[in-house]
């Protein structure tokens, strides 16, 4: 027979090559088959591990780890109100509709790059499950994604296509709709706070100006997300108080 560790490795290696729905079907089937083997005295440890992954409906990589990007809650938002931060010249204070009962209050370091009037009623891309932080005395509960050139002299909003509704979750090629598990509703523990740090270096605009992660395309129901003119550059966070 195959050792438990090797068997689990084979299962997760195969799962890593599949789409999320196919992964879940494989993991559920593997759980059942291995569970049936319990009576014969084998498969129990692997069955328990597979059940843990399958039961959570999580997307795994080749090591059996949850892909960090799938833990992010990234949604289409619409800015319903934007004003200057009362205590910081470089910051804007925005109220953003992300499909919840009330708009989210988000602070962005965009005042040196985008005129205030251009933010009103604008569609934006918002990371919604980062730990809320106080920025110059005011709480910010989200992060607006932007593109930036290498020397950070030009910053543009990452914009969903017109026709998108606030609250729509982004999709990512090979992963499907990115709706994080309940335990990642707010990434507040030390390990959870590392998720964005792990993901951020691979968040980029490709040569066509479309948003990608590790070369895979982000999309919405209306198509891909783009910045106004930027291409071949990094997607940045704009919530650092200055």
Q: Mind listing the pLDDT tens digit for each residue in 73-121? A: 999 999 999 999 999 999 999 999 999 999 999 999 999 999 999 999 9
Check residue 137 and give left, alpha or beta (phi > 0: left; psi -120 to 50: alpha).
left
Q: Kindly report which listed range (25-34, 40-49, 94-103, 204-213) carries the lowest average pLDDT score.
A: 40-49
Q: Which of 124, 210, 130, 133 is nearest to 167 (CA)?
A: 124
Q: Which of 213, 211, 206, 210 is nearest to 232 (CA)?
A: 206
Which pLDDT belongs to residue 126? 96
The dihedral formed by the CA atoms of 209, 210, 212 and 214, expressed in degrees to the nearest 10: -50
Residue 165 per-residue DSSP state = P
Which pLDDT belongs to residue 165? 97
Tokens of 96: 């953003």
pLDDT digits (tens, 9 = 90+) for 199-230: 999 999 999 999 999 999 999 999 999 999 99
Which pLDDT belongs to residue 8? 63
How many helices (H) and strands (E) are present in the chain, helices listed first?
4, 15
How far apart are the C-alpha atoms of 1 and 14, rounded to whole Å? Answer: 19
Longest C-alpha distance within the chain, in Å? Answer: 70
First to last CA, the chain: 60
Question: Residue written as tokens 């106080």?
Answer: 134
Top pLDDT among 214 and 22 is at 214
pLDDT exceeds cutoff 70 at 168: yes
Rounded (5°) CA angle 69-183-240: 55
Query: To the nearest whole number, what is the mean pLDDT of the chain?
Result: 82
pLDDT digits (tens, 9 = 90+) for 119-137: 999 999 999 999 999 998 9
Which pLDDT belongs to residue 171? 95
Question: Residue written as tokens 């999709």?
Answer: 171
Rounded (5°) CA angle 200-110-197: 15
Q: Give bridge partners of residue 157 from the DSSP assignment.
A: 146
Tokens of 188: 């507040």
């Amino acid at each position: 027979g195959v050792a438990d560790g090797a068997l689990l490795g084979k299962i997760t290696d195969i799962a890593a090559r599949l789409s999320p729905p196919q992964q879940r079907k494989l993991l559920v089937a593997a759980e059942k088959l291995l569970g049936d083997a319990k009576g014969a005295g084998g498969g129990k440890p692997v069955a328990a591990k597979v059940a843990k992954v399958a039961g959570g409906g999580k997307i795994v990589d080749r090591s059996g780890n949850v892909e960090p990007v799938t833990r992010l809650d990234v949604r289409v938002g619409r800015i319903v109100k934007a004003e200057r931060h009362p205590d910081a010249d470089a910051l804007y204070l925005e109220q953003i509709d992300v499909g919840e009962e009330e708009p989210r209050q988000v602070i962005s370091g965009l005042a040196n790059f985008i005129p205030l009037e251009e933010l009103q009623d604008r569609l934006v891309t918002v990371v919604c499950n980062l730990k809320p932080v106080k920025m110059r005395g005011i709480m910010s509960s989200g992060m607006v994604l932007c593109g930036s050139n290498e020397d950070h002299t030009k910053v543009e909003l990452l914009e969903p296509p017109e026709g998108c509704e606030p609250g729509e979750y982004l999709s990512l090629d090979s992963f499907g709709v990115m709706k994080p598990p309940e335990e990642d509703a707010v990434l507040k523990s030390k390990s959870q706070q590392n998720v964005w740090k792990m993901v951020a270096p691979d968040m980029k605009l490709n040569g066509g100006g479309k948003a990608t992660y590790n070369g895979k395309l982000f999309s919405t129901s209306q198509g891909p997300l783009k910045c106004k003119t930027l291409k071949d550059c990094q997607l940045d966070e704009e919530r650092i108080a200055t």
